[in-house]
Chain A
Amino acid sequence: MSVGEAVTAAEKLRRSRAGSRRLHKAAPTIFLAPAILLLMVFLLYPLLSSFRLSLLDWNGLGDGARFIGLQNWVRLAHDTVFWNSAWNNILLAFFSVVVQLPIAVVLAVVLDEASKGSRLLKILYFLPLLMSSVALGVLFKNVYDPNFGPINGILGAMGLYSWTQDWLGDPNFALGSVIAVVCWQNIPFYMVLFLAALSSFPREITEAARLDGATGRTIFWRLKLPHLQGTFRTAVLLAVIGSMRYFDLIYVMTGGGPENASEVMATYMYRTVFNSFELGYGSTVASAMFLIIMVIAAVSLRISKRFETEV
């Protein structure tokens, strides 16, 4: 190798190192670019755009969009259907917490204590969570069917004709019937959550307590249940936030009806945009829903943090 060749080789190496160093510097950008781009296009922009659309009077087709300032927001403030649907979200959250969590704790304890078959039971209990809400909604629409559904069928066979109802068609029963299905589907989720917490409970403590003469009942109420507290907080948070954005199952089963009896914010938003073709006002509903959810999420996080420090 001549001197000149060696020099150019060294120069090449230096250059390629400089090049790769530059490439290394750009590495974070290159690795993050696809994710950030996708999030901006499909999450951030739509979020902001929703607020912009909320200022329009538009049916969603053609150039008829008209800027009307805050008129949609004023309308929303006086829209009893919207506030009623937000209230239904709160009812859904409330019943999700008071129905699902206690049953889930009981089932978790059952699985934790049952020696035989608890693995198989857990697998079977989990099934509802794998089903799509549409399939589930159609399934329970048939279960509730006033003429051919098993619920009225069984009530009738037991001679309880007066108890039979048009479960989804009667404004007095629609929301409750829908909430029952929501609970049915989600209980296994919380059950597995509590089960994981229970099985992480140290065996030595149970044994030590038993040696000290503690009964199974005392061990459960005094030791295991307090141990679940942190998990309980997580579960309440998940149930509340999940309930505020609920859509699929309710839309499939009742569409929010009858007479808005089972309407929640998301179904109202959907129907305003895609059935009444009020795209501007529907976006106002969507934006309001976003704000309400953010406030509720922030408040419940704050409350759950306070509990954490106090207890």
Chain B
Amino acid sequence: MANRNFQPARVAIPVLGLFWLAVTTLPFIFVVFTSMKTLQETYTNPVWAMPEQLNLSNYIQVLQGSFLIYLRNSLFVISVSVVLIVLVSSMAAFALARLKFRLNGPLFGLIVAGMIVPLHVTLVPVYLMIRTAGLYDTLFALIGPYVATSLPISVFILTEFMRQVPKELEEAARLDGCGPFKIFARIFFPLSGPGIATVAIYNGIMLWNEFVFAYVLTSSPDKRTLPLAVWDFQGQYASDIPAVLAVVTLSTLPLIIVYAIGQERIVNGMMAGSLKG
């Protein structure tokens, strides 16, 4: 009896599993295949046909354009932003988790409330501010908004983390004559490694893919980040579908490579970040 009830599940599970695998991967396969076709092929052959030969000319064409400049800009903006996010948020988290002062509770609440602010509401004032500051269309235009908007979630994650560091460690250090600055630098910052990794992974991926601020605060191709490469190329090569899809592939590749190295970590980091956000 129990066995008979079990049968449908035994068939359904692999079928459903493979079905969703197809749903997930077919669009990616379509992109990679099409990006290796010639423009002629996309007009004459059916969409599901394999490319006639391993043709990388679309990739070469894209790489000879300004793609690498977008990539370099992204690497610069994201690494500077992530370093600042980690530094600023771990300092704030330490104060909120471990220092006693009057406004501790309300301040924590206010900072964390920043997570519900829909960022598009800040777009126009930030745009005006960046323009007034003379930072419009520079890579530095992005760093301020990127760091600030990542802080609420990062402070939240790290404060939770630092609250769990055993009190004894802190007391021992205090007896040895360490002040709050040394306690932070020698104990809390190093011991928060996993929390910092989560913050860096989550924000790094979110900002790597960030579109609207980069779109509004920059305009020239040599000041724009990777998501804008896809956007700009799409405008430039509008009808050259294989070339556009080669850009899509190339722009996704860096994250896929990182993902291949640390899947589990990235999945967990993304989940921790979005859950709290």
Minimum CB–CB distance for A194 against chain B, Å: 11
Secondary structure type dominating chain B contacts: helix
Q: Is residue B153 within 8 Å, beta carbon to beta carbon, of the partner chain?
A: no
Is A53 in contact with B125, judged by CB distance below 8 angstroms? yes
Interface residues of A in 203-257 (CB under 8 A from B): 213, 215-217, 234, 238, 241, 244-245, 247-248, 251-252
Q: Please tell me the number of chain A residues within 8 Å of chain B, measured between CB atoms.
A: 91
Interface residues of A in 126-140 (CB under 8 A from B): 126-135, 138-140
Is B251 in contact with A132, judged by CB distance below 8 angstroms? yes
Contact of A28 with B13 at beta-carbon distance under 8 Å, contacts A189-B271, A270-B120 already known:
no
**What residues of A have a CB within 8 angstroms of the CB of B179 in the complex?**
20, 23-24, 27
**What residues of B have a CB within 8 angstroms of the CB of A163 in the complex?**
none
Most buried by A among B1, B119, B125, B247: B125
C-alpha gap A148/B39 in the complex (Å): 11
Is A273 in contact with B20, judged by CB distance below 8 angstroms? no
Chain A residue nearest in CB terms to B31: A139
Is A283 in contact with B88, judged by CB distance below 8 angstroms? no
**What residues of A have a CB within 8 angstroms of the CB of B271 in the complex?**
189, 192-193, 196
Is B118 in contact with A38, judged by CB distance below 8 angstroms? no
C-alpha gap A38/B88 in the complex (Å): 9
Is A153 in contact with B46, judged by CB distance below 8 angstroms? yes
With beta carbons under 8 angstroms apart, the residue of B152, B180, B230, B241 that contacts A39 is: B152
C-alpha gap A36/B152 in the complex (Å): 10
**What residues of A have a CB within 8 angstroms of the CB of B241 in the complex?**
142, 145, 148
Q: Is residue A69 within 8 Å, beta carbon to beta carbon, of the partner chain?
A: no
With beta carbons under 8 angstroms apart, the residue of A36, A39, A287 that contacts B121 is: A287
Q: Map CB proximity to A onto B27-49 as digits: 1 under 8 Å, 0 otherwise.
A: 11011001000000011001110
Is A47 in contact with B122, judged by CB distance below 8 angstroms? yes
Minimum CB–CB distance for A217 against chain B, Å: 5
Is B123 in contact with A43, judged by CB distance below 8 angstroms? no
Q: Map CB proximity to A onto B104-123 as digits: 1 under 8 Å, 0 otherwise.
A: 10010001001011111111
Is B151 in contact with A38, judged by CB distance below 8 angstroms? yes
Is A138 in contact with B244, judged by CB distance below 8 angstroms? yes
**What residues of A have a CB within 8 angstroms of the CB of B208 in the complex?**
132
Minimum CB–CB distance for B210 against chain A, Å: 8
C-alpha gap A241/B120 in the complex (Å): 14
C-alpha gap A24/B116 in the complex (Å): 33
Is A290 in contact with B125, judged by CB distance below 8 angstroms? no
With beta carbons under 8 angstroms apart, the residue of B99, B147, B259 that contacts A27 is: B99
Minimum CB–CB distance for B224 against chain A, Å: 11
Is B121 in contact with A273, judged by CB distance below 8 angstroms? no
Q: Is residue A113 within 8 Å, beta carbon to beta carbon, of the partner chain?
A: yes
Contact of A286 with B21 at beta-carbon distance under 8 Å, contacts A41-B144, A139-B31 already known:
no
Q: Is residue B94 within 8 Å, beta carbon to beta carbon, of the partner chain?
A: yes
Q: Is residue A143 within 8 Å, beta carbon to beta carbon, of the partner chain?
A: yes
Is B226 in contact with A132, judged by CB distance below 8 angstroms? yes
Jot down 16 A-B pairs with beta carbons below 8 A, ordered by A: A23-B179, A28-B95, A38-B148, A42-B149, A111-B17, A129-B270, A132-B226, A133-B227, A134-B230, A142-B241, A142-B244, A184-B23, A189-B270, A216-B5, A266-B118, A289-B118
Chain A residues in contact with chain B, CB under 8 A? 20, 23-24, 27-28, 31-32, 34-36, 38-39, 41-43, 45-47, 49-50, 53, 60, 106-107, 110-111, 113-114, 117-118, 121-135, 138-140, 142-143, 145, 148-150, 153-154, 157, 184, 188-189, 192-193, 196, 213, 215-217, 234, 238, 241, 244-245, 247-248, 251-252, 266, 269-270, 273-274, 279, 282-283, 286-287, 289-290, 293-294, 297
What 7 A-B pairs have minimum CB-CB distances, sorted nearest first? A42-B148, A132-B209, A46-B125, A46-B122, A31-B95, A35-B92, A49-B125
